A and B are shown apart, each in its own frame.
Chain A
Amino acid sequence: MILLSGVGKTFRGRDGGRVEALSDITLRVAPGEFVAIVGASGCGKSTLLRLVAGLVPVSLGRVEVGGELVTEPRADTAMVFQAPTLLPWADVLRNVTFPLRLMGKATSRTEDEARALLAKAGLSGFETKLPRELSGGMQQRVAICRALLQQPRVLLMDEPFGALDALTREEMSIELLRIWAETGAAVLFVTHSISEAVLLADRVVVMSPRPGRIADIIQVSLPRPRDFAQEGTPAFHEAAQRIRALIYAKKEAAHGQA
């Protein structure tokens, strides 16, 4: 579904110098696959998502979605940001339908589908509330519903639970899995929580910083549907341990150089 081959991204710095954010990224994500990306801050995780979203052009290599070269944002790709990024003037229902209305793709069924999706996310009865009347967790649920209503084939999530408290975060991870399982979308999920990555993903891409490269890709062999009980299993620990080792090994290597 998503194909990155030899992708590199270089930004021009403020002083005219060049900053290499990503280098030689090659990754293939199958339809319906859930891939998490972890790595230290500044390793280009968010940039990688924006390349796939078509928001930022690549400097090197190519990005394909569904076999087509990505040159601009696509209608079958939806994005969830770290902040809920809701329209403060629109109620929950109009926020969820906003992308479809903006793209002129809203139909007579759009509103019913939005209500059904909100119900699945536990937001029944909040359709006419304004974003500021909701808690942070509920706002982010609205943002996820907004992305899912577009029935994307590719769902890009940039630390979607990063601004939430630990309890809300765990609750929403399981909820996300439950709703995602019905959509069959390919997911790229950026996080800096190792346990979150292992709990959610089929594969975890571990990135190392400066420039952002793929250090390794860890297969998570836990059965689905996932739940918290699996956090205690040896398979979970083994995967988490391997990811942790990769991240810290790279850090020590960087220190050694300096």
Chain B
Amino acid sequence: MARPNLTGPIAVLMLFAIWEGSVHAFGIREFLLPAPSVIASEAWTIRGAILNHTLATLQTVLLGFAAAVLISLPLAMAIASSPVISAAIYPLLVITQSIPKVALAPILIVALGANELPRVIVTFLVAFFPLVVASVAGLLAAPPELIELGRACRAGRIQQMLRIRLPYAVPFVFGGLKVAAALSVVGAVVAEFVGADAGLGYLIQTSMAFFRTPLAFAAVVILALMGMTLFALVGAMERILFPWSSSSQTNIPAA
């Protein structure tokens, strides 16, 4: 960590430069592919509205993500603690995961009304599955010797889960959290496409209806930034709260 690695940011900047140059050089029309400068200036003119849309989406993302975390972890512990529960729940999980969320969204909105709840549920449904799978994998990853050590110390099933399996699963859970954070943004936008009167997904739809392509692009860029920020925040949280986890992820099985 002596020097920050600038290769990534430079590559992104170069991509934008090529994009800007190509749009001008080939005279591409704005509603097909706007130049980055046009996207920025159009977004700036309605910055107040864009801020509101961003906050609306962020709220859905965070609520959906929080619901995913609150439900996934206990669910994962239940699945990992008993083969019977696992056999009962896993097929249900796979079914919910096989249903396209886009197909489910309009049904939920009719059933629950055009408010925040169906959007949060769709976000949750998109985000929670990888988190459950990663957490279960982590809870079952504790080496047999460690479990035997717990048994030799007369640890019961609950102690085994809380004192051995759960801490052991932390790096796995954070792997799942990173995926879930990124997917929460996807889920929120899918929900907003179907039923919303605010949010970046709504902004993309309404902008495209009026061929205001630069605004749609602006929303896409903000969504990308939102996903990246959440991802980075989860990573930072792991490094601060569980310093042994992030740097030891690769050699954990050796323990």
Write the residues of chain A forming the contact surface with B, with a CB cutoff of 8 angstroms.
Answer: 53-55, 72-73, 75, 77-79, 81-89, 98-99, 102-103, 130-132
Contacts and interface: CB of A to CB of B under 8 A. Distances in A.
A190 to B, nearest CB: 14
B163 interface: yes
Interface in B129-164: 143, 145-146, 148-155, 159, 163-164
B36 interface: no
Contacts of B228: none
A73 B145 contact: no
A81 B145 CA distance: 7
Nearest to A139: B255
B159 A102 contact: yes
Contact of A55 (B152, B163, B245): B152
Contact of B255 (A53, A75, A77, A132): A132
B154 A89 contact: no
A102 B168 contact: no
Contacts of A72: 154
A87 B143 contact: no
A130 B244 contact: yes
A79 B152 CA distance: 7
Interface of B: 143, 145-146, 148-155, 159, 163-164, 167-168, 170, 242, 244-245, 248, 251-252, 254-255
Contact of A99 (B146, B148, B153, B168): B153
B244 A103 contact: no
B149 A88 contact: no
A34 B149 CA distance: 22
Contacts of A103: 153-154
Given A55-B152, A85-B143, A103-B153, 5 more contacts: A72-B154, A83-B145, A85-B255, A103-B154, A131-B255
Nearest to B148: A55
B146 A85 contact: yes
22 contacts: A53-B152, A55-B148, A73-B151, A81-B148, A81-B149, A82-B145, A83-B255, A84-B255, A85-B145, A85-B149, A86-B255, A88-B248, A88-B252, A89-B168, A98-B153, A99-B153, A102-B153, A102-B154, A103-B153, A132-B244, A132-B254, A132-B255
